[in-house]
Amino acid sequence: MKRWFPLTLAALLAACSSAPNAEPDPTDHLLPAHHDPQRITDAYAFDGEIRVHGGKWDGWTSVGGHHAGVNWPWASATKQVVAVLVMQEVERGRLALDTPVSTYWPDWPTAFSAPTVRQLLQHQSGLANPDDSAPDANGFPSAYGEGVSEKYCLLEMSPPGGDTWRYNNCDYVMLGLILEQVTGEDIAALVQARIGEPSGWNNTRLLDRDGARDYVARSEVSDRRISGYGTSGALIGPLTDMILFDRALMSGALLSDNSRAILWQGNPALGFMGLGQWSFEAPLRNCTSPVRIIERRGAIANYQVRNLILPDSDIAIAIALVKSDFDFGEIWTGSGFMHDMLSAIACR
């Protein structure tokens, strides 16, 4: 999974807001008053799938060279789902965000300070990082080969907390195990009962090592890699289900308004990270004021995923493609594919 979102975002946002016309954008001609997002995908040679809910482009879809409704690896959008499950347990009083996880994990090694639930959600845990494991024959971190385990994550630790964060898939592997501990339910069943059913999912579930799933560009190697991520990145399903999840989250079907506000509270000191997603405001072309954006990114093997929620306008956008080097750009810089696509969909 890719690390992202520099801690200088606040400064970049300020610069972008104060000098929006410093340099002409080469794609300005693609964005007339009634711009069409299809022209953006063509201009950037985007060949994947995009789904839109809400706004004037409600129902718009671009499938590129794929069939509509195909399954995609959700990669780290899985973490967004796990974070909602955690907040549901906070609502039920079985988890508390600022309680050390050793409270819920009796076998936590006493040699290490236990991070809080919030520190796991915001990548401040100090757990061992599977991305640091020795590469396998294909150059992929070997810790994912048999699935990232509790034993690996607790192999060595540094003190949790501090004033920064480090992206770490062990954080969400451990959250999945803790959810099983406090609910007494298998995590796959929990995802289906607590997220899938209220959202109205059709075909999304965690990829396990014994269960084959059809998805875009599937291979034996990608099966092994994706399943190894577990609750940090192994959901597989159509983008229509991702949109259904976004709508259920916005509507209150998954969390109360208060819990959702906590989930979406971006911390400027951590690069505007919320819980399992990032929350920030950014200026978009042809919008009269900065737009509040909830963003979750994912990258696994050759797949890239974006899930974006614009809660103030009831818009959700789900994007996936098989091209690890496709440049989405950074929304807050005022240019690039993602900025132009959001401008086309969200602004006049």
**Better-predicted residue by pLDDT, 198 or 156:** 198
pLDDT one-digit tens code per residue, 199-250: 999 999 999 887 778 999 999 889 988 999 999 999 999 999 999 999 999 9
Note the pTM of the prediction, 2 decimals.
0.90
**Residue 183 and residue 91: Cα distance in Å, rounded?**
13
Rounded percentage of the chain residues whose pLDDT exceeds 70: 90
Contact in structure between 192 and 245 (CB atoms under 8 Å)? no
236 closest CA partner among 216, 259, 257: 216
306 closest CA partner among 339, 274, 280, 328: 328
The pLDDT, as a whole number, for residue 210 is 78
> In the 8-state DSSP scheme, what is residue 159?
-
pLDDT one-digit tens code per residue, 28-70: 444 443 478 999 999 999 999 999 999 999 999 999 877 778 9
What number is the average pLDDT over the span 264-292? 96
**Residue 188 and residue 205: Cα distance in Å, rounded?**
7
Q: Is the pLDDT of residue 22 over 90?
A: no
User: Order of strands across the sheet with 71-73?
Assistant: 71-73, 235-238, 205-206
Q: Is the pLDDT of residue 87 over 50?
A: yes
> In the 8-state DSSP scheme, what is residue 196?
I
What number is the average pLDDT over the span 3-16? 42
166 closest CA partner among 214, 126, 108, 114: 126
Rounded percentage of the chain residues whose pLDDT exceeds 90: 76
In this structure, what token pair is assigned to residue 218?
């599937």
Handedness of CA 289, 244, 234, 168 (dihedral sign): positive
Within 8 A by CB and 6+ apart from 107, the residues are none
